[in-house]
Amino acid sequence: MLVLLPPSEGKASAGGGAPLEIGSLSLPGLSAAREAVFTELVELCSGDEEKAREVLGLSEGLRGEVAKNAGLPTAGARPAGEVYTGVLYDALGLATLDTAARRRAADSLLVFSGLWGAVRVTDRIPSYRCSMGVKLPGLGALAGHWRAPMAEVLPGAAGDGLVLDLRSSAYAAAWRPKGEVAGRTATVRVLHAPTRKVVSHFNKATKGRMVRSLLTAGAAPRDPAELVETLRGLGYVVEAEAPGKAGKAWSLDVLVEEIH
């Protein structure tokens, strides 16, 4: 099973670890694309601060993120699972998983990123600010920049098993499973059952808890149909819609009674 996650906008400080080595990251087929984004982002943030803030879509209160990006070449790095924070990652609670569940997380979780493309939770990265929605002056829209290298690399990472896609739309734009891989992909929405509406906070929290449940249970569903039954067995209320034709992903709705 491969689980596709969005990153978090907020990130923990990387601390005093050794600086990043881009070549050490998982999915080495993305290295050239990573180098291109990294180089331009550092150059942008080392120049005109106001221009960098505008390109990155940062508010006045986030002005310090520009300097953080400028310092990326020498910034300390730590595992991505420790750097990404926020509602989904708090609910997932990687640090509190037992040894076997942490091993499963290292093998199955893939976090998408405007800067790195996609990384494993064990990959060491510095804290940074660069969303997938950014349009860099030289490279253009990052989702478009990542599309070709992702199409080359991600099918191999997906292997022949289930792909559980929990990304937001901005990050899904960088890679959409196609063909046979799409047929074993399940996308998930979390809906407030009484209103049938998506609400951001509990959408993220429920996705984090759901991934945690799968990891702690040692679940290994082989396809979307098995995933539906597995989630129901773990206590989730799931409605599933199989694709109408080959080459399309399954759509799953997880229904939640309370907003928390």
For residue 211 the two structure tokens come to: 């991934």
- Cβ contact 245:235 at 8 Å: no
pLDDT of residue 217: 97
Determine the pLDDT at residue 51. 97
Asked if pLDDT for residue 195 goes beyond 90, the answer is: no
Average pLDDT rounded to a whole number, residues 29-43: 98
- Both tokens of 212, joined, read 């945690």
Residue 244: its pLDDT value, please? 85
CB 158: neighbour CB atoms within 10 A?
Answer: 20
The pLDDT assigned to 257 comes to: 84
pLDDT digits (tens, 9 = 90+) for 99-115: 999 999 999 999 999 99
Check residues 10 and 69 and name the one with the higher pLDDT. Answer: 69
Contact 144, 33 (CB under 8 A): no
Q: What is the pTM of this model?
A: 0.95
The rounded distance, in Å, linking the Cα atoms of 177 and 184 is: 9
H/E/C letters for each residue in 153-215? HHHHHHCCCCEEECCCHHHHCCCCCCHHHHHCEEEEEEEECCCCECCHHHHHHHHHHHHHHHH
Q: Looking at the predicted structure, is the pLDDT value of residue 14 above 70? A: no
Report the pLDDT value the prediction gives residue 202, as an integer from 0 to 100: 83
Q: How confident is the model at residue 167 (pLDDT cuts 50, 70, 90)?
A: very high
In this prediction, residue 194 carries a pLDDT of: 85
Q: What is the pLDDT of residue 259?
A: 62
Tell me the pLDDT of the chain averaged across its residues.
Answer: 94
Both structure tokens of 156 = 């191999």
> Is residue 260 predicted with pLDDT exceeding 60?
no
Compute the average pLDDT of residues 122-132.
96
Any bridge partners for residue 113, and if so which?
A: 117
CA angle 192, 196, 198 (to 5 degrees): 60
Q: Which residues contact 172 (CB under 8 A, 6 or more apart)?
A: 165, 187
What is the CB-side half-sphere exposure of residue 233 using CA atoms within 13 A? 12
What band does 13 get if pLDDT is binned at 50, 70 and 90? confident
Q: Percent of the chain having pLDDT more than 90?
A: 87
Structure confidence by residue, pLDDT tens digits, 220-250: 999 999 999 999 999 999 999 899 888 899 9
